[in-house]
Structure 1
Amino acid sequence: MQVLFCHDGPLSVDGEQNYYGIAHNNEMFKRYYAIADQIATVIRLNQLKKDESTKNLSKINGIPFKVYEMPNISSAKGVLFYRKKAKAIVKKAVLESDYIVARLPSMSGFIAIDYAKKYNKPYLTEVVACPWDAHWNHSFKGKLVAPFMYLATKKRVKNSNYVVYVTNHFLQDRYPTRGKSVNCSNVALTKFDDNILRKRQEKIRNMDANSKIIIGTTAAVNVRYKGQQYVIEALGELKKQGYTHFEYQLVGAGDQSYLKSVAEKFDVTEQVRFMGPMIHDEVFSWLETIDIYTQPSRQEGLPRALIEAMSRGVPAFGANTAGIPELIDDGFIFGNTKYNTQEICSILKTLKKEQMLSQAERNFIEAKKYDKKKIDERRERFFKEFSHNNI
């Protein structure tokens, strides 16, 4: 029996047909063994150059699975020239599989669901992000695409018999289903040591009025809806008011030129540090060094990076986006309006040591809800119910 996982991806592949991913990794693919004993995927591939480093990628090994390579149909050019080819690839993959898992939003997922319905193949839908937020906050072209992606997702989720949401409430409310559903975050933490919290509290207690306060964000630095520019702008406003003890560290890959230009514009170049991409273990070590974490995104599902920071007892603030308010206290949420930089300034200016101590404990406890064992058990029960009821 074969289960087919459908998403735009991408995965990376080298000349020896070894596959690598970041979010798409061994741990993710293995969960689908709860549905069937063979795994296949419809996904886009990036060809690695001969000497290209795979340091920041996870090699997919020990999992025999079949890959149906998709062309890129996430652009106007792709839809115009490659949609017919893409549909033929997905159709073949669906017909050769017994169960379909469609991760939305994705063009591959939309097509897979349509063929699954046409050929009476049981399918399960995973909703991992809000396409409206992603496209509307991306660019002018994104605003043109947003209504289509929103309606396409809403229609297919509504008519799905089995749906997995990564949020507790947000995506369920925006993209409701008539079928059965479960909330299972893609974030799954394995280690909770109370010494981590005690160490964080000691770090906070040792701060004084002259201490530098390091703010951190983990996200691609070339994707504008990730929102780092709003924090940089806030630092500029704070500098005008005489608050110069904040440093903003950005972990993530991508072209840094836009954010560097924002830092120059607001005269805070010396307060903004680009740390580059880090592997997972390096990120956890870096989290130990910062004082506050922020998730300023205008598009998210339930942000893994934020939960990981909370699991290290880091005080945090973030945007009123998707699942972020499900994680953080109301007083540490800023809006997605033209006044957001003022709100960020207010949060940073009024954040006292007592608040940081209470938020460290509160966030550490909240992160425990994302214990890997509990989430995996809940997801596996749902997957088995899906496959059992569709034998």
Structure 2
Amino acid sequence: MIKKQILFIYPNNSTFVKNDYEILAKKFRIKKHHYVQSKSILRNLICQLLVFIFFLKNIRSSAAIFVWFADYHSFLPVLFGKIFSRPSFIVIGGYDVTYLPSIKYGSFSNPIRSYCAKYSLENASLNLAVSDNLVNDAHKYVSKININVLYTGYSHQKLSFETDRKKIGIISVCGAFSLQRVYLKGVDLIIETAKILPNEKFLIIAADENLLRSNFEVPQNIEVVASLPHEQLIAYYQNALVYIQLSLREGLPNSVCESMLCGCIPVGTNSGGIPIAIGDAGFIVDHRDPKLIADSITKALNCNLSDRIKARQRVINLFSLENRETQLLKKINSFLIN
């Protein structure tokens, strides 16, 4: 039996994007297109042209369209889906139903981008939000939308728990290579919190050290590491005691869930999907106050083995990769005509 073909559009190679590609590839033939995001108008126009050509060549032989995030890159795929009567699916990750004016962040940050995101969300056959909070966020910008919640999934086999930890201390994975991302991910708060806990080592992963040191007074107990391959990142999770996520905005935070699977005690701000990930298996700080964050980190550092097992078990119970695979295939198949 010939497998049906799905067109897979994505703006980055994040772990969760790769996971969905691998899930769909088990049951479908996948033709993928990487839309390289850019702030350049000319570059975006070229990328739109490439998407247009990709769909002209492939839409007739395809059964469905699958897009990660609603943004510039989702507009044409959804439009082609409407024209050729192909179901389209958008995974809502967080920034695509967001606008933070203070740092000009989100798909609704300018009129053209807003139009592309709104059209995509309104006209997709089904939107799959990775966290409960994103449903309400989507309704703030779009009145007519078909949306379900489907959590991203994590493999407890690949992310193992180590009881013999090397006590790295406190870590956070930020992707902070611009000032916008620094403030979005709460790195400024991490810096202020580290000053309150001078005897604790903080490790910030995936950040620009020169950017941080030129804009903030970074204390000596903070170490900054550039981007790491996922395998090395897992090793840090397995040896750390506490993971902190102090973002202004998150969907279901990937790094929080992965670190919990590896036995880290999570500490996070009460923002977006962070408290959904942490639940009662860590510490949620209601106010963006470094003193309150420091208090929670101190409590987290004193947690025992059973607390670490509880954090891991929460992710296994609620956010398993197996559940995402089952539900994702079920939802897509429900739209396909035999």
**For this structure pair, what is the TM-score category when the shorter chain's length is used for normalisation?**
0.7 to 0.9
1:81-106 per-position Cα deviation (integer Å, ceiling 9, x unaligned): 53762463254143453311122223
Could you list the runs of 5+ residues in structure 2 that have no partner in the other structure? none
- Aligned partner of 2:308 in structure 1 is 360
Measured in 2, the distance between the counterparts of 1:105 and 1:153 equals: 5
- Aligned partner of 2:30 in structure 1 is 39
- Aligned partner of 1:326 in structure 2 is 276
Counterpart of 2:186, as a letter, is G
- Aligned partner of 2:234 in structure 1 is 284
1:5 equivalent to 2:8? Answer yes
- Per the TM alignment, residue 22 of structure 1 is displaced from its structure 2 partner at its CA by 4.7
1:46-85 per-position Cα deviation (integer Å, ceiling 9, x unaligned): xxxxxxxxxxxxxxxxxxxxxxxxxx56544434x53762
- Aligned partner of 2:328 in structure 1 is 379
Alpha-carbon spacing, 1:33–1:304, altered in 2? closer, same or farther (3 Å) = same
Identify which of 175, 180, 184 aligns with 1:220: 175
**Aligned residue runs from structure 1 range 32-111, under 5 A:** 32-33=24-25, 36=28, 38-44=29-35, 72=37, 74-79=39-44, 81-82=45-46, 85-86=49-50, 88-92=52-56, 93-111=58-76
- SS of structure 2 residue aligned to 1:219: strand
- Per the TM alignment, residue 29 of structure 1 is displaced from its structure 2 partner at its CA by 2.1
**Aligned residue runs from structure 1 range 336-351, under 5 A:** 339-349=288-298, 351=300
1:305 equivalent to 2:255? Answer yes
The alignment's C-alpha RMSD in Å is: 3.5
Counterpart of 2:209, as a letter, is Q
- SS of structure 2 residue aligned to 1:373: helix
Alpha-carbon spacing, 1:158–1:25, altered in 2? closer, same or farther (3 Å) = closer
Alpha-carbon spacing, 1:190–1:148, altered in 2? closer, same or farther (3 Å) = farther
Counterpart of 1:162, as a letter, is L
Measured in 2, the distance between the counterparts of 1:352 and 1:255 equals: 27
**Aligned residue runs from structure 1 range 209-248, under 5 A:** 214-222=169-177, 223-224=181-182, 225-236=184-195, 238=196, 243-248=197-202
Measured in 2, the distance between the counterparts of 1:140 and 1:348 equals: 30
1:349-378 per-position Cα deviation (integer Å, ceiling 9, x unaligned): 55572x555642431221212332233222
- Per the TM alignment, residue 275 of structure 1 is displaced from its structure 2 partner at its CA by 2.9
Of 158-167 and 113-122, more deviation after overlay is shown by 158-167
- Per the TM alignment, residue 283 of structure 1 is displaced from its structure 2 partner at its CA by 2.0
- Per the TM alignment, residue 27 of structure 1 is displaced from its structure 2 partner at its CA by 4.5
- SS of structure 1 residue aligned to 2:293: helix
Measured in 2, the distance between the counterparts of 1:141 and 1:30 equals: 30
Measured in 2, the distance between the counterparts of 1:149 and 1:324 equals: 26
Contact 2:261/2:315 (8 A) holds in 1: yes
Contact 1:4/1:99 (8 A) holds in 2: yes
Identify which of 3, 26, 30 aligns with 2:22: 30
Measured in 2, the distance between the counterparts of 1:288 and 1:84 equals: 41
- Per the TM alignment, residue 255 of structure 1 is displaced from its structure 2 partner at its CA by 2.9
Could you list the runs of 5+ residues in structure 1 that have no partner in the other structure? 10-20, 46-71, 205-211
Measured in 2, the distance between the counterparts of 1:192 and 1:43 equals: 27
Measured in 2, the distance between the counterparts of 1:6 and 1:115 equals: 13
Measured in 2, the distance between the counterparts of 1:127 and 1:142 equals: 12
Identify which of 70, 90, 100 aligns with 1:136: 100
Alpha-carbon spacing, 1:2–1:142, altered in 2? closer, same or farther (3 Å) = closer
* Matched residues, number: 324
Measured in 2, the distance between the counterparts of 1:213 and 1:141 equals: 32
Of 122-131 and 183-192, more deviation after overlay is shown by 183-192
Contact 1:136/1:143 (8 A) holds in 2: no
TM-score normalised to the size of structure 2?
A: 0.79
- SS of structure 2 residue aligned to 1:181: strand
Measured in 2, the distance between the counterparts of 1:143 and 1:41 equals: 22
Contact 1:103/1:125 (8 A) holds in 2: yes
Counterpart of 2:324, as a letter, is I
Q: Which has the larger radius of gyration?
A: 1
Q: Percent identity?
A: 17
Contact 2:97/2:108 (8 A) holds in 1: no
Contact 1:229/1:262 (8 A) holds in 2: no
- Per the TM alignment, residue 151 of structure 1 is displaced from its structure 2 partner at its CA by 6.2
Identify which of 224, 231, 239 aligns with 1:274: 224
TM-score normalised to the size of structure 1?
A: 0.70
Contact 1:334/1:344 (8 A) holds in 2: yes
